[in-house]
Amino acid sequence: MTAAPTETMPAPARQPSEVHNPSSEVAHFDASQPLKLACQQVLAPFTIAYKTHGSLNPDKSNAILICHALTGDQHVADNNPLTQKPGWWETLVGPGKPIDTTQFFVICSNVIGGCMGSTGPASINPLTQQPYGLDFPVITIGDMVEAQRRLIDRLGIDQLFAVVGGSMGGMQVLEWASRYKDRVYAAVPIATAAWHTSQNIAFHEVGRQAVMADPDWCRGNYYAAGKTPRNGLSVARMAAHITYLSEDALQQKFGRSLQDRSEVTFSFSADFQVESYLRYQGSTFVDRFDANSYLYITRAMDYFDLRDDHGGVLANAFRGTKTRFCVVSFTSDWLYPTRESRAIVQALNAVAANVSFVEIESDKGHDAFLLYEPTFFATIRGFLNAAALKRGLPGSTEAQQ
Amino acid sequence: MTDAAIIANVPATASLRVDHDLIAEMVDPGARVLDVGCGDGELLKLLADRKGVDGRGVEIERNKVNACVAHGLSVIQGDADSDLANYPDQAFDYAILSLTIQATRHPKTVLENLLRIGRRAIVSFPNFGHWQIRTALLFGGRMPMTPNLPDSWHLSPNAHLCTIRDFADLCDLVNADVEQAVAFNMSGRRLPIKWSLSTQNLLGEKAVFLLKTR
């Protein structure tokens, strides 16, 4: 690996502290309740770390499950315990927000394979009493959903009012709606796709190779060595981050502006603001994310192909569905472009499903789903309120706006 | 009278478009309805209010789709020409195309799809056979511009304008029975149904056809 070394050079190696003792709620499933995985292995025991907001109504009909993206976590609307930053979707989720926690009971769990308290490669393998590392089984989006289903069962919720998620979260939404048609009243897959394209897989492979080329990765056993593949994971994040933006957004934000200097330095230091920005993004990421989790979760996304799972016809994934769908894409998202959402909509139309589809105009690229976009927010609020009305729920407090 | 005054004079659920009122009469209560080219969802809302239909919409303009979904309507951003093929046969009781067929690229294919998707199809369109248009072309020698068709020829989205008789011919071509055909004059009054098609074609400014595959 010949990536330029980052200028903000690393703090001592340490594991994100939320792996073993998450500050959120946890649901433990012991050895008698194994999670059967798509790879035919079982995960047992396993733990799901989750956060809830709002309160469950007496007939348990107002629960919204929010599914997080690749590097997200359960802290959707509360301060992240590692970064102390606001939750990753706190603009959308909260009292009076489009996903109104005064009306809905919001659940968000860390995916299995993650590193914020749900069982993942950094968790302790009960067989060895050491972190799993590469002994952790390869997981799929479907496995993540099965783990969530176990949590929902434990919370005593029969039918979720809605399952909402963007990017990889959207894949989980689709998987939920496909597997548990009677348990999902409304589904909101955002900026996502029903299968990973060759380009999606290609970018992920670059990220994984960057991690694995770092000598501190130690073939996945960096935990024991007291190391962490900071440079590799940082480069992976830098490359991925570019795919979350758009050319226009980058150009507008940075152009060819120089970083704290008036001329180029004829060196490989971060002359350009965009370089400095990406290095910062990379270096802050490694402080909160486990490198092996990154490998496993990107793999799960690459394996995702809901069409292939249903005999090559995506519509078969949704046949007989009564779920109300709201599919959302963003004009400048080239990672999961509108045509991917349209394929989902066409499949839903083919089974005469109840579907809304909105393409939101934005120059923010894939990241737009995490940002405040007024028309996006109005769409989510309007869709959820209409669905709540149908379901006999009160809906958002600011419904009349 | 100003627009505001007109709006103030109609009941909340009344339609500002006479063809919408007629379509609402044609549709059975509780029916499953697909409104192709649903615009801002006015007809869907009307049908939901008056007839309790299970309505869906397709609309090409993004802003209108956003407004529909934000108001709780099930609408997708799509195109009558390219997106109807995905729907299964007889998925709806009614497939409606309201003042849109003249703006499609392939009106015949669109009509065939409507008749396939819906047990019945309802199509409304501006009548290019109206006397005002005929006289405008005859005496003015230019493409007519009327309140009903306000755009100049180079700005108009209407690529396939037709007359009531043309449309009746197309229905015949695609094996559709005309169960009902109603034309409206310039003041929005329905022309007597017993009048001949030729008379309706001369005096009707727009028309609504209720169709069923033979």
pLDDT digits 0-9 by tens, B124-168: 999 999 999 999 999 999 999 988 889 999 999 999 999 999 999
- Domain extent, residue B32, equals 3-213
| Cβ pair B76:A389 closer than 8 A | no
Q: For position A300, what pLDDT does the model report?
A: 98
| Dist CA A175 CA A147 (whole Å) | 12
Length of chain B: 214
A345 and B76: CB-CB below 8 Å? yes
Would you state the pLDDT for residue B147?
Answer: 83
pTM: 0.91
CATH level 3 topology of A25-196+301-391? Rossmann fold (3.40.50)
The predicted pLDDT at position A316 comes to 98
Contact flag B74-A361 (C-beta cutoff 8 Å): no
The alpha-carbon gap from B160 to the nearest alpha carbon of chain A, in Å, equals: 26
Q: Report how far residue A257's alpha carbon sits from residue A387's, in angstroms, rounded to the nearest whole number.
A: 47
- Enumerate the H helices of B31-79 as residue ranges: 42-51, 62-70
Residue in A290, A244, A208, A203 with CA at minimum distance from that of residue A88: A244
DSSP code for A258: B
Tokens coding A382: 């309007």
Contact B72 A382 (CB under 8 A): yes
Can you give the pLDDT at residue B32?
96
| CB of B76 closer than 8 Å to CB of A345 | yes
Between CA B46 and CA B53 the distance in angstroms is 9
Q: Is the pLDDT of residue A398 over 80?
A: no
pLDDT in tens, B181-205: 999 999 999 999 889 999 999 999 9
Q: What pLDDT, on the 0 to 100 scale, is given for residue B193?
A: 85
Q: Give the pair of three-digit tokens for residue A347.
A: 């499949």
Other C-beta atoms closer than 10 Å to the C-beta of A89 total 26
Split at pLDDT 50, 70, 90, the class of A16 is low
B25 φ, ψ (degrees, to nearest 5): -70, -35
Q: Closest partner residue to A379 among B70, B74, B88, by Cβ?
A: B70
A333 contacts A275 by C-beta, under 8 angstroms = no
Give the helix ranges, DSSP H, for A105-167: 141-154
The reply to whether ipTM tops 0.90 is no
Backbone angles phi, psi at A328, to 5 degrees: -130, 135
Q: How confident is the model over A187-208, as a mean pLDDT?
A: 98
- Reply yes or no on whether the pLDDT at A4 is more than 60: no
Domain ranges of chain A: 25-196+301-391, 200-298
How many of the other CB atoms lie within 10 Å of CB of B185?
15
- Nearest CA distance, A178 vs chain B (angstrom): 19
Residue A15: what pLDDT? 52
Average pLDDT over residues B60-64: 93
A351 and chain B in contact, CB less than 8 A? yes
Cβ contact, residue pair B83, A324, below 8 Å: no
Structurally, chain B folds into a number of domains equal to 1
Q: Least CB-CB distance to A352: which of B69, B78, B87?
A: B87
Whole-angstrom CA distances from B63 to A325, A384, B66, B70 are 19, 19, 5, 10
Of the candidate CATH numbers 3.30.365.10, 1.10.1740.110, 3.40.630.30, 3.30.420.40, the domain formed by A200-298 belongs to 1.10.1740.110
* pLDDT of B210 strictly over 60: yes
- The pLDDT of residue A399 is 45
Summarised one tens digit per residue, pLDDT across range B21-48 is: 999 999 999 999 999 999 999 999 999 9
Residues 6+ apart with CB under 8 A from A292: A120, A121, A122, A132, A133, A134, A136, A220
Nearest to A349 among B72, B77, B87 (CB): B87
What pLDDT is attached to residue A297?
98
Q: Please tell me the predicted confidence (pLDDT) of residue B8.
A: 34
What's the CATH code of the domain at B143? 3.40.50.150
Q: What is the pLDDT of residue A3?
A: 41
| Residue where the block lists tokens 């056979």 | B129
List pLDDT tens digits, range A56-82: 999 999 999 999 999 999 999 999 999
* Average pLDDT of span A100-114: 98
d(CA A250, CA A351): 40
Residue B13 pLDDT more than 60? no
| pLDDT tens for each residue of A215-244 | 999 999 999 999 999 999 999 999 999 999
β-strand pairing of A93-94 with B54-59: unpaired
pLDDT at B146: 87
Q: Does the active-site annotation cover A167?
A: yes
pLDDT of A400 > 80? The answer is no
